[in-house]
A and B are shown apart, each in its own frame.
Chain A
């Protein structure tokens, strides 16, 4: 799975977690919370969706690595190998 495919996975989750948000022009290297109206509960929703959809466990100490789309891609790509893109 490529970084772009992983970003797509994260964006699809964000669309569910923040349904009012415009995610069409998100910058990859800027913190998601600086671009979207998101709080810690929303972030926990992202973690939960990763768990439910892809069986990925993100330990609390790794949460900062999911701060931006680029960070998500870097952190999640190795963990999503072998997962079929829906």
Chain B
């Protein structure tokens, strides 16, 4: 691979239920702080949810926010933070050479539900349906809002990739940089899902929505008593650049994206497929040019569902079971399932391990499900390891879409 094909992360902007910066996210992951609360959702009453608290006005005017969407606001905040952290906010950036690639699980349900609620108050007279509905619900909305906000004239679009979307956004950025289509990619994933009752209702009908007990313990992947997903909102945007460009401007490099894989189960709309997950992980390792034993940390996708957690655990055992040095964790136990943002946020949460050599745990495991037994699954307390050079990040989604990213600690 030529140096120009090496892609590095030079900035991260995020908002999550446990922090609106890389530092606060990391501190809370190491401190065992879960961020789940209860919210009132239309027709359903109280549900568990991961809610983000960030400064909506930091990068966006009140009018822009009013006309746009919650997920657009999240995307703008994350993109603004990422660009600032990368040191690209002081001018000199050719905005025609910037691409915005954001993964989404779904888009438009929030806005459509809201409009139906509006016209319901007027006897379902569609005269009261907002003229903003179309620009709010076009599938490129969150990425488009970023370009409008920042004056970016390069390409933008979202990647609909269910819960594999956060990694998919990142991967798209890597590919576009390697193709020479852009010089800077704002890549990642975003979600406003908690503002849609439909997503809660559908998971509930599927018997896959977490219910009952302490909100902080509601999301508990791999625990025998887990009873479903906690839906969260969130966003995470990475600034990606080609290595020579980053070095030329003396940028701080957080990690190098060395491998990725995406594939499809082609087996079931909702049930994950261990064999395809294994193949996707293998593809990412192959592209990275490394062996399973080179990975130090596997960041799991596990969402706190019985079948999903067990099938991913089986995939991890199959690929990494022979290696004593590979540690495994989960971030959804802290922040819930941030849907389109999940893969990106979970990768971001683990980037700190390159510097501190600590693997944050999967929390809320009181009784490990034997089906989910994985060697070196870090339970409930952070674990210091000898080194973290490679992190592998899993992200899987409905309709059988799998995405895996491998990042490497950057050594100058």
- The chain A residues found within 8 Å of chain B, CB to CB, are 16-21, 37, 41-42, 44-45, 48, 51-52
B62/A19 in contact, CB under 8 A: yes
A20/B62 in contact, CB under 8 A: yes
Alpha-carbon distance A41/B131, docked complex (angstroms): 7
B62/A48 in contact, CB under 8 A: no
Residues in B with CB closer than 8 Å to A19 are 62-63, 66
Alpha-carbon distance A20/B63, docked complex (angstroms): 6
Task: Tell me if B's interface is mostly helix, strand, loop or mixed.
Answer: helix
Total A-B Cβ pairs within 8 A: 25
Would you call B366 an interface residue if the criterion is a C-beta within 8 Å of the partner chain's C-beta atoms? no
Residues in B with CB closer than 8 Å to A16 are 66
Interface hits, B28-84 → A, CB 8 Å: 61-63, 66-67
Q: From the candidates A18, A37, A48, A52, name the one contacting B131 in the complex (CB within 8 A).
A: A48
Residues in B with CB closer than 8 Å to A42 are 63
Would you call B137 an interface residue if the criterion is a C-beta within 8 Å of the partner chain's C-beta atoms? no
Residues in B with CB closer than 8 Å to A41 are 67, 131-132
Would you call B127 an interface residue if the criterion is a C-beta within 8 Å of the partner chain's C-beta atoms? yes
Complex: chain B residue closest to A52, CB-CB: B128
Would you call B225 an interface residue if the criterion is a C-beta within 8 Å of the partner chain's C-beta atoms? no
Apart from A16-B66, A52-B128, list 16 A-B contacts with CB within 8 A: A17-B63, A17-B66, A18-B63, A19-B63, A20-B61, A20-B62, A20-B63, A21-B63, A37-B63, A41-B131, A41-B132, A42-B63, A44-B131, A48-B130, A48-B131, A51-B127
Residues in B with CB closer than 8 Å to A17 are 63, 66
Residues in A with CB closer than 8 Å to B131 are 41, 44-45, 48
Binary interface profile of B, 98-137, with partner A (CB < 8 Å = 1, else 0)? 0000000000000000000000001000011011100000
